[in-house]
Structure 1
Amino acid sequence: MMQRMQLSSTSAMFYGISHLQWPTTDLERSVALWRDAIGLIEARRGEGYVDLDSGNVLLRLMQVPTIESAVSLRLSVQDVGKAYEALLAAGAAARYAPMRTPELEEMACVSDANGHAIVLWRALSEDEWGFVPELPKQGEWQPDAEELLKRLLAHVPALFRMLVRRKTTRVIEMMAAEAKSPVTRELVIRGYITSSAKATRFRLIAPLKAEGINPDDYKEDFDFEG
């Protein structure tokens, strides 16, 4: 108990990271890169430094006579390729061109005039993975039922698909447990419908029809109040 109290007291002394320091031998050139090319907003300027607002913490560009050690920052970007070309056009040097990683990210890297690394990255959407993730299933599934759900889930926008996959799989397995049955195509269809919010179930009609399933046969499930 005493140790927990001490840890809690210590953590209360700290409020989070306020600045990241970026040493530079040419302050105005660094400002041009980070403010004008990358788009950070100048927040404060003082003797030998400029603070730029990154949205989370301030990036402090600090004038120094020499660079003692290079630093590296990762920038989250919408389009790695366009950001990479924009920084090259602004005078940065290429380290490596856009590439996809085993961590399901797209990355590229450039160096500024002082040799510091700026890593550009974004998470790949599920549609870009090149494979269909396994269902988070625990019970027994008939093979055709599993494949059907994977095809139906492909119609869900990639941004929401992981959450929908988890919820739908859970609902289907609960229905299978109640029926004391392995997961069948019929249970997949019913669970796919009832796991969705009633107000948005109309969006399921087209995916079901694409699989040769008549939504009218599942009116009770479409009307189900979950």
Structure 2
Amino acid sequence: MFFGVSHIVIPVTQLERAVGLWRDVAGFTEAKRGEGYVDIDSGNMLLRLLAVPEVEANVSLRLSVGDVAQTYQALLAAGAQSRYAPMKTPELEEIACVSDADGHSIVLWRTLTEDEWGFVPELPKEQGLWQPEAEALLKRLLLHVPALFRMLARRKSTRVIEMIAAEEKSPVTREIVIRGYITSSAKATRFRLIAPLRAEGINPDDYKADFDYE
């Protein structure tokens, strides 16, 4: 039976140089030393730095970091070579890559929020006809939701709005968007919708029934 990956073996030609990179620059902990190797605790897996006369095959490591640009510069200052500078990807990530002295690639990455990426995803529409002004209104209202929760709010509000439109046998109008936006939110937190609605020139008092909807 398999219990998981315990080590990744990284062949290195100068053991102490590699230890300095992973322990002193990357900030990981030296866990164990043995004859010709040092184990580095990366937090969820051990990196076994194994001394070899010559590296015959390179490895690639993907490291989650808090600040890609800062970590990238720190590795360059420590002697790593750039493969590519920090950049954004369509997967909502920021990544960069360097090579260590033995040619192993170290990919630095972190997840970006929608706001950091700077785009507004399309609504996950599945049915019905959406009037352009209604769709634009919902996208603006969703910008008031914290980025961490926006994807969930986008899915739920779109689904509820389309359900209301289907029940009323109507295209998705501005009015239906407002009602669905309110009722798709938990009743205990609907007070947070008042400011976004007012910012769009909408009087929340006109939608008391929706705010009270169970």
TM range (shorter): over 0.9
TM alignment of 1:84-123, pairs within 5 A: 84-123=72-111
Q: SS at the partner of 1:65?
A: coil
Q: Which residue of structure 1 aligns with residue 162 of structure 2?
A: 173
Seq. identity, %: 77
Matched, 1:49 2:37: yes
- Alpha-carbon distance in 2 for matches of 1:58, 1:217: 60
Amino acid at match of 1:213: I
Q: Which residue of structure 2 aligns with residue 141 of structure 1?
A: 130
- Alpha-carbon distance in 1 for matches of 2:176, 2:112: 31
Amino acid at match of 2:180: G
TM alignment of 1:1-226, pairs within 5 A: 13-139=1-127, 140-225=129-214
- Alpha-carbon distance in 2 for matches of 1:71, 1:20: 9
Question: What is the Cα deviation at residue 144 of structure 1?
Answer: 1.0
- Is this contact kept in 1: 2:12–2:18, CA < 8 A? yes
Question: C-alpha offsets along residues 179-212 of structure 1, whole Å, 9 cap, x if unaligned?
Answer: 2211111111111111111222222111111100
- Alpha-carbon distance in 1 for matches of 2:149, 2:78: 36
- Over the residues paired in the alignment, what is the CA RMSD in angstroms? 1.5
Question: What is the Cα deviation at residue 128 of structure 1?
Answer: 3.1
Structure 1 length-normalised TM: 0.88
- Alpha-carbon distance in 1 for matches of 2:131, 2:7: 55
- Alpha-carbon distance in 1 for matches of 2:145, 2:193: 9
Higher alpha-carbon deviation: 145-154 or 191-200: 191-200
- Alpha-carbon distance in 1 for matches of 2:57, 2:65: 26
Amino acid at match of 1:152: L
- Alpha-carbon distance in 2 for matches of 1:173, 1:137: 8
Q: SS at the partner of 1:55?
A: coil
Where does the alignment leave 5 or more consecutive residues of structure 2 unmatched?
none
Where does the alignment leave 5 or more consecutive residues of structure 1 unmatched?
1-12
Number of residue pairs aligned between Structure 1 and Structure 2: 213
- Alpha-carbon distance in 2 for matches of 1:177, 1:216: 25
- Alpha-carbon distance in 1 for matches of 2:2, 2:91: 32
Question: What is the Cα deviation at residue 43 of structure 1?
Answer: 2.3
Question: C-alpha offsets along residues 44-76 of structure 1, whole Å, 9 cap, x if unaligned?
Answer: 222222222222221111111111122111111
Question: What is the Cα deviation at residue 19 of structure 1?
Answer: 1.1
